[in-house]
Every structure is written in C-alpha cells, then in structure tokens.
Amino acid sequence: MYELIQVAERSYYIESPAKIGLVRLSEQEVCLIDSGNDKDAGRKVRQILDANGWKLSAIYNTHSNADHIGGNRYLQAQTGCRIYAPGIECDFTKSPVLEPSFLYGGYPCRQLRHKFLMAQESDVQRLTDECLPEGFACIGLPGHFFDMVGFRTPDDVVYLADCLSSKETLDKYKIGFIYDVAAYLKTLEMVKTLQAKLFVPAHAQAAAAAEIASLCQYNIDTVMEIADGIYGLCKEPICFEALLQALFAKYGLTMNFEQYVLVGSTVRSYLSWMKDTGRLDCAFENNLLLWKQA
C-alpha cells in the first residue's frame, strides 16, 4: 500500500484505498490528483515526495468525497501547495460538513462526523481550465457525485476518479454510491468510447481501453439489476424504510450509520430516477410516502 507506480513518462499513481494520481510537471515539480483519505495518507504522500526530491505545486481534486480530499489540509500546510476542485465540489471541500449533512438529510450526529465522511477543511479554489497545467484536459464525470471530473495528462493517461467500481466490489457490496443515476449512466456510456494509453480508476485496477469499456458495461448492468430489484419490491406500495430494509436483506448488507446514509442516499437517487422515467410512482397514505410501480 502507498507504493508509487509509474504508468507513463510523467504519470504515476500511488496505490491506496482511493488511488492518488501524481504527475511530474518538471524535474522537481509535481501535482497530485486527489490526496487520499486522511492525514496519515498525506504523510505517506509527503514521504514519497521527499524520497524523490519533488516539490508539490498543486492538488487537483476530482470530487469532494472524504477519501479523495482527506490529505488536502496536511499536504497544503506542509508544502504550501494550491488546491483546486470543480463546481459544487469546491464548496463541499471548503465546508466538509456538507457531505454528511447531505447524506443524512439534516445535521449529522456524531457517529457521522468522522474522517470517513467528513474531511478537514482546506483552502481550495474553484477549478477552471486556466488552472490546469499545460497539456492537461479536464473530463466531466458527473453522476457518482455532483460535479466530479477526471483528468487526461500530457502523456495520455486518464484518471477516472470514482466513475467505475471493480467487479469484486460490485459483487461484494452490489449497491455502489450514486448521486444522479441518469448522469452516472450517461458518464459510463461516454467513458466506454474514450481512448487513452491507460486509464486509472480510483477503485479498480489501472487498465487499457477495452478492459475499461467492459468494466463500464458491468457497472451499467449492475445499475439496471438494482433498478429491477427496487421495481420488484415496489409491486405493493412500500415506504422507504421498509424498501431499504428489504434491499439490505436481498444483498446481504449489514446496517450501520455509515451504510444507512450511503446506501439510503443512493436508493433515494434510484427512486427519483425511476419516478422521473415513469417506472415508479408514489402516493401519500396515512401520512406515509409510499412507492409503487407505475
């Protein structure tokens, strides 16, 4: 873990729970794509920088989930680097309490205010094309989170953030986090068509285009399977809590606060998408919101 792996002349990634991209901008200067999940991850990154005699000039955050911005504050304090994040992700990175608040739907209790859902604040600026190093391109990857992006480096490596989960992760946990299902599916269809020397997803193995296209389709098929499962459970009108309980039982998941908000938020996103596309409807009965097949 935290091994530095070179994948092109100037492009690397650091093997970690959420892969961290590293790109050499010159002989001495580098930038990061994301920063890991916490201060300890930041320390390990700093050790890699020091061992190679590199200076960190900037961190480009793909999105604001805590496991991608958790090293920001430590690395910025240690190196004085700039930090950039796209769109709404910039606001969540500035005010990390927004993530558990959004997931829970209100002020998050203490069990949700921890480093896995709420990173430390960092001084971040909004990402624009002008902020990018020469030869970099930003790729919009909405769906998993609000304004998530990926990056293509000058030596044609594409960092894909969280738009893909590995087959092993999907087979084990089934319901991966999604904010906007329609946007997520559109992103996966787009990524299927991309070409690059190598793709580096944060939570799957680095791979060539053909393997990434196959994995995109596996993720799409899993989304459709989850949607069919939800549809079947709505044969009779059902409230959200009962639906969530049934999905946890169906896929062998274990309920705790983190899983309640992560899976629960995702299921609400499926319900919104399925209502907007006409598969599901809802009604209020006895002061309960009930979901049902349309």
| pLDDT tier at 63, thresholds 50, 70, 90 | very high
pLDDT (mean) for 287-292: 98
| pLDDT tier at 158, thresholds 50, 70, 90 | very high
**Whether the domain at 4-137 and the domain at 232-293 fall into the same CATH topology:** no
pLDDT in tens, 193-207: 999 999 999 999 999
Residue 254 has what pLDDT? 95
> Residue 93 has which token pair?
């990175």
State the pTM of this model: 0.97
Fold of 232-293: Arc Repressor Mutant, subunit A (1.10.10)
pLDDT in tens, 172-190: 999 999 999 999 999 999 9
Mean pLDDT of the chain: 97
| pLDDT tier at 143, thresholds 50, 70, 90 | very high
pLDDT in tens, 89-105: 999 999 999 999 999 99
Q: Facing residues of 292 across strands?
A: 281
Residue 277 has what pLDDT? 98
Domain boundary assignment for the chain: 4-137, 232-293
List the alpha helices (DSSP H) in the chain: 39-52, 66-69, 72-79, 87-94, 98-104, 167-173, 181-193, 209-233, 240-250, 257-276
Virtual torsion, Cα 104, 106, 112, 113, nearest 10 deg: 140
Residue 272 has what pLDDT? 98
Eight-state DSSP code of residue 89: H
| pLDDT tier at 3, thresholds 50, 70, 90 | very high
Report the first-to-last Cα separation within the chain, whole angstroms.
48
What's the one-letter identity of residue 178? I
Kindly calculate the radius of gyration of the chain based on its CA atoms and give it in whole angstroms: 20
| pLDDT tier at 290, thresholds 50, 70, 90 | very high
Fold of 4-137: Metallo-beta-lactamase; Chain A (3.60.15)
Q: Buried b / exposed e across 139-175, counting CB within 10 Å, b at 16+?
A: bebbbbbbbbbbbbbbbebbbbbbbbbbeeebeebbb
Angle at 22 between CA 18 and CA 23, to 5 degrees: 150
